[in-house]
Structure 1
């Protein structure tokens, strides 16, 4: 995860201790669970986090929350969705910061044989063999329905077995509950659910790397001024989030970044 985000937050005491309202994609709960308590102890600030997909029209979807004027200081979304909001003048363009990337992966119900998804052909066969396939209404779900299924030549066959998970609920939760036996979502979301079997990432030929980005609203502009001054004086830390499960790939200017450490 990038230095800019948490240095900005950690320096917020230079302004005042307060609630920091965060809108964030569902890719980040594990990172926030690890980083959030330390941030609150060190700053005296309190994180108020609302989760939701980067795309979609449900009440939980981040575009809906932004449109409705939900209170926020910081927003985390995938880049295309965030760029769209910046074009609508919702955020300060120069505060957008690249963070991490997460690959779309596969999980199934506990007890099921793990399907082979290592090649395009075996992935296609596994999808056609599944009775139900879950995906989100967010960015990964849009890619799955609009690009992956057509590319595999199975768009029509998948319509009857598709289960779209709306709002902030994770695909893994629906699999765990039994609403679907096969699920597709970013590895960061799937790894967050213990009661499912993680299978693996999509083959590179049909992979979509979801890059996560961060921006700020006018209400914390001074936090970023403090952050810039700090970085100029002290430089960037080596690491901020020990991504033990390797669910993210650090931003490195390419889509083949190394796992975050």
Structure 2
């Protein structure tokens, strides 16, 4: 047997590099809910450049009955590799066997914030009473049909003691971002995940809900069962949750999980 020389080692290394370079790029279809959408958009280019993979990105709510909702997409058998959505809704899909066991990656937490139209008077919602008055004094209030809106409808209005007073002037908005409803003048006050309000032009975010009534929503990603590129899908989720990307996530209004470790 001939001894292994430095030249042999270099040739083997070059062959390995050539094999890696020759490996076909993966095409990943990703569906993200709105809460993590801006962070995903801001990170997707860096992922594609570093991995050589291509992302086909689409958007849909974590829950609800609209056609684009992630559970509805999976129920009708759409080919999707990765979903990014509210953690509780993701856990439900995992329990139903629609996602790969053990593939969940927690990416960020998101507080609920409230907004008014740009240029309008801004209510002070730093206290529970201030938030209560902001709801009561608004002519029309909007909230989403996803996690934050379900919390507002089912719990927050009761906690504020104003559920009856808000009947007829508070509406749950399907699919359309709450910020857009406010910007177009269809509501003068509304609340949603801060990360979903932040990218919308024409509104002013007046603050997050007071700590006593706040609900932080977890956003997580997972690989869809039967994904065409499961390994690349897992690599994407690891990239999105990597500590070096925490600053990008935080800039979108989310609280990155990586920075909390």
Using structure 1 for the length normalisation, give the TM-score: 0.83
| Structure 2 counterpart SS, 1:145 | helix
Look up the SS of the partner of 2:94 in the other structure.
helix
1:15/1:223 contact within 8 Å kept: no
User: Deviation of residue 68 (structure 1)?
Assistant: 1.6
Taking the aligned partners of 1:46 and 1:96, their CA distance within structure 2 comes to 21
Instruction: State the Cα deviation string for residues 156-214 of structure 1 (Å, max 9, x = none).
Output: 211211122212x2111111111111110011001111210110000000000011011
**Other structure's SS at 2:164 match:** helix
Partner Cα separation in structure 2 for residue 13 and residue 65 of structure 1: 34
| Equivalent residue number for residue 245 of structure 1 | 251
1:128 to 136, 140, 150: 136
1:176 corresponds to 2:183: yes
Matches within 5 A, 1:104-115: 104-115=112-123
- Partner-residue secondary structure (3-state), 1:23: strand
Q: Is the 8 A contact 1:104 1:207 kept in 2?
A: yes
Asked if 1:117 corresponds to 2:120, the answer is no
1:194 has 2:195 as partner:
no
How many residue pairs match? The answer is: 238
Give the TM-score normalised by the residue count of structure 2.
0.83
Q: In the alignment, what sits opposite 1:215?
A: 222
The answer on whether the counterparts of 1:28 and 1:188 sit within 8 Å (CA) in structure 2 is yes
Q: Mark the runs of 5 or more structure 1 residues left unpaired by the alignment.
A: 1-11
How many angstroms does 1:245 deviate by? 3.2
Displacement of 1:225 after TM fit? 7.3
Q: Equivalents in 2 of 1:223, 1:14: separation in Å?
A: 16
SS of 2:206 mapped into structure 1: strand
Query: In structure 2, what is the Cα distance between the partners aligned to 1:144 and 1:13?
Result: 50
Contact 1:103–1:187 (Cα < 8 Å) also in 2 = yes
1:75 aligns to what SS in structure 2? Answer: strand
State the structure with more CA Rg: 2
